[in-house]
Structure 1
């Protein structure tokens, strides 16, 4: 993936507020809206766009991301490349938005799609999970049934006693779907061990981030009959070697790792380390899902349902049909 310098160019950065259809709850947080950073880079009449939500639990928020980019405005506008983006900013939302905008602009200027530049295969529609926020068991089962087209569903759990009923109710309502649970660091070793037989009985296929960051050693030698995915425990490529022996799957999110460039590198590194790759999202419009969709071509689990929680979306938008996500041409890259 050779990287050419694009410049001079003009940059525009703004923070947009996107209301949710309904409040969304995970362990430790509840959301009614999300602020997203949008960056556009313009050169020779072509515009490249990148979007980022940041990482809320690391205090990486759109306003601070905008300040990071504004401090680099002169350096960016004189001319940048995908390689220089990696040196300008650390992993996080600001680099994600800038990196994705550079990829999008390069694709448009060169007439070559981003997947081809990255050395990936022609993208195809892929199965994505659809997420049920932590709620009462009955409400979560109802939410799961609303995803009539879903082939895969992920449940947000909290480490509370009610988690078992949540899983049972959803499985009873949706016998047909692949099922995963996401603790968002909410379990203790005891609560996980108590819940595990319920998860096995309910045919749960993946447990995401059971323990808090810093407690990964609890998984050393832990014989789980269900694969365990790292989310908060892995932010970027440098974190991956430490996952071996604790986790089976690595959840790649562009807001965490800092963009499409590192996301592709992480998916490739997962194979080398004997891990499976998953791609997810913090939240976002279709613009945020599009580069992640390309990484999803290399993953065994795809969790790119962010836009379904928003009252509105960008145009053009990703297409959800029969439990699959597909990206139309012209959206990104």
Structure 2
């Protein structure tokens, strides 16, 4: 464990963990606190960030990160559709730029980070409706399914998996793979590590998970397979790459999904990283373990995708 990671765990334990001990959740406080702490990295050299937050940009509201045209640098022929974490009620594409920028640069792929609707203003299935619509818009704009990987962290990781399940059930062409960082897949909070890692996880207390779930679920049962994809049939999905930290209260959310997907015949790479905090990939480029984890994720993206001959521009896809 690097000193940088140890410092991140200390910071989370001091600044974030106490908030999860409260018996109630303040959505407003979570959003304000996150907004104050957002560190936005510079756009990587040779890349351009296109922010698309207008009403008319739906269903592709969010941020494109794409390379600038250069004679000696071929444009990425692959795409990552990314869903940020934040319990479905806070955070945004802006809050997750450090992760998305580093992943895009390492894999040399263009990325679209989706600004899906948040609870409690927009409860389940609003986020899923947005994610499915965004994927279908990419296909409608000419991006081949086999050149796309759907990815996300925490709630966004659960949303990525739920999107794959919903697309399969609807008969859509599936993307090349799913990339899940510390995914939240069981909103019923039945994982054993909710209890055994309570007090060890530097970011979350165990009881906080069920409380957060209610903000998103409302009256929806916590075991609904599109809200908690752990309870969905996972057969027929594309290859999955899953990373989780050993001390996370959500470790079993990742571990059980990996086990059930393998049992269903899905190709799964599952990594448990010792002593890493929840969604530690977001601390790139500062933490060595974050950089190494994203190197592995980037390799997976390039392994499973089939590059298309020419990549539609973000401006074209949004205009449709």
TM over 0.5: no
The structure whose RCO (Cα within 8 Å, separation 6+) is larger is 2
Between Structure 1 and Structure 2, which shows a larger proportion of helix residues? 2
What TM-score, normalized by structure 2, do the two folds share? 0.34
Between Structure 1 and Structure 2, which shows a larger proportion of strand residues? 1
What TM-score, normalized by structure 1, do the two folds share? 0.33
Larger Rg: 1
